[in-house]
Amino acid sequence: MRSVTILMVTMFLYRTVMAQPQMDKLLENIARNNKSLKTSQGQVEADNIRQKTGIYLPNPTIEYNYMTGKPTDLGNKTDFGVTQAFDFPSVYILQNKIANLHGDANQFRLLSRKQDILRQAAELYTELVFVNKYAILLKQLQNTTSRFVSGLKTKFDLGAIDAVEYSQKKWLESVLLVKIRKNEIRKQTLTMQLTGLNGGIQIAVTDTTYPALESLPVLDTVINRILARNPDLNFIKGQQFIREKEVKLAKSKWLPKFEAGYYSESTLYQDLKGLHLGMSIPLWENVNTVKRTRSEERLIGLQWEEYRNGLYYEVSGLYEQCKLSQASLEEIRTGIVATDFNMYLATLLKEGKIDASRFFYDLSGWLAINEMYLSGELEMNQAYIKLKSYSF
């Protein structure tokens, strides 16, 4: 019996899209409907506005004083003043650049979140494909078992076997029934998880073929493309640029702050009008700010190296897993294709060599090798999905 149709092709990472229309449509729907992505988008928009807040000139100050004189012949006194405090222009230029860099970094953070969600969805999809393929296998084995039980009953009616051996048929049927029910529960669970990612809108996956895969380029090409496009790595790099600007900003804030304005003073005998100039010397307020920002800059650099190193070996591991899985699956597939379990059963029935113990043993072995193949096929496709997800 050929229980599964095997699609064994080599794999490719970039410059292609998923071949299965349902996979493309599924990911598009989830990208549009996912609640977490909508929340993340709102957070990014709010943070972009927050970064643009408080980077402009402070509010001007208006003062008005009215004082009565005693004795009264001194008259009353009126003071009026308008002043504006400001830093060196470089402070406002740097603050605006830092706000823009935060906006760019937030886009990478949003893209990273999107990749994570679409990766989860793609992995759930491939697992549902596995469940559908496994259901076909179990159904075929259930039908094969029914044929065996029918032959067993004939022999029991003829008195060729005893009741003990005949009763073993229930054991065979029960084992497959339990597996079928567990597989159905697994499908329901995976479907609910996928529906949750789709914002609660129901999704049904009936595919029994994995998305088409093409050949991988050499490892260095794969890694270089991923490292260049990875949003988490670019986000950390963006934080480095921000820290560089913050170091310059901290230095600029060591320059004096100024205050300029207009003042007037009126009394009974005279009116005084003139300009007001002031300067704040930063002696204590900004102590250690430059050291702190430089330290943070160095820390971000170390985090970038750490993440890049981890990503390099993660991608390398997935790449090797894909290549090695292909070779091992080919060996298993050859054994499956070379054996026709239906023909084997027909031969046993024809020659009268069938018994419950032997059939159960052979059926268990056949089921085990098919489960091994299907599990290995799932692992290979999920490794590919993880590689592919870096370009979602």
What residue ranges do the domains of the chain occupy?
Answer: 21-60+107-243+310-389
Higher confidence at residue 9 or residue 270? 270
The helix-helix angle for 289-338 and 231-252 (nearest 10°) equals 180
| Mean pLDDT, range 300-308, rounded to an integer | 90
Which of the residue ranges 57-71, 147-161, 164-178 would you say has the lowest mean pLDDT? 147-161
- State the Cα angle at 319 between 315 and 323, rounded to 5°: 170
Q: How far, in Å, CA of 90 to CA of 171, rounded?
A: 82
Residue 46 scores a pLDDT above 70? yes
- pLDDT at position 276 is 85
* All residues at 6 or more sequence positions from 364 whose CB lies less than 8 Å from its CB, including other chains: none
Higher confidence at residue 185 or residue 360? 185
| Residue closest to 1 by CA, chosen among 329, 357, 346, 332 | 346
Q: How far, in Å, CA of 295 to CA of 299, rounded?
A: 6
Higher confidence at residue 145 or residue 130? 130
Tell me which of 2.40.10.10, 1.20.1600.10, 1.25.60.10, 3.40.720.10 is the CATH number of domain 21-60+107-243+310-389.
Answer: 1.20.1600.10
Report the DSSP beta bridge partners of residue 81. Answer: 63, 263
Phi, psi of 134 (to 5 degrees): -65, -35
Residue 186 scores a pLDDT above 80? yes
| Mean pLDDT, range 65-83, rounded to an integer | 83
Give the rounded percent of residues in the chain with a pLDDT score beyond 90: 32
Widest CA span of the chain, in angstroms? 139
| Residue closest to 221 by CA, chosen among 319, 119, 317, 323 | 319
- pLDDT at position 219 is 84
- pLDDT at position 3 is 35
- pLDDT at position 350 is 62
Confidence band, pLDDT 50/70/90 cuts, at residue 108: very high
Predicted confidence (pLDDT) per residue in 227-274, tens digit:
888 999 999 999 999 988 988 888 888 888 889 999 998 887 788 888
pTM for this structure?
A: 0.79
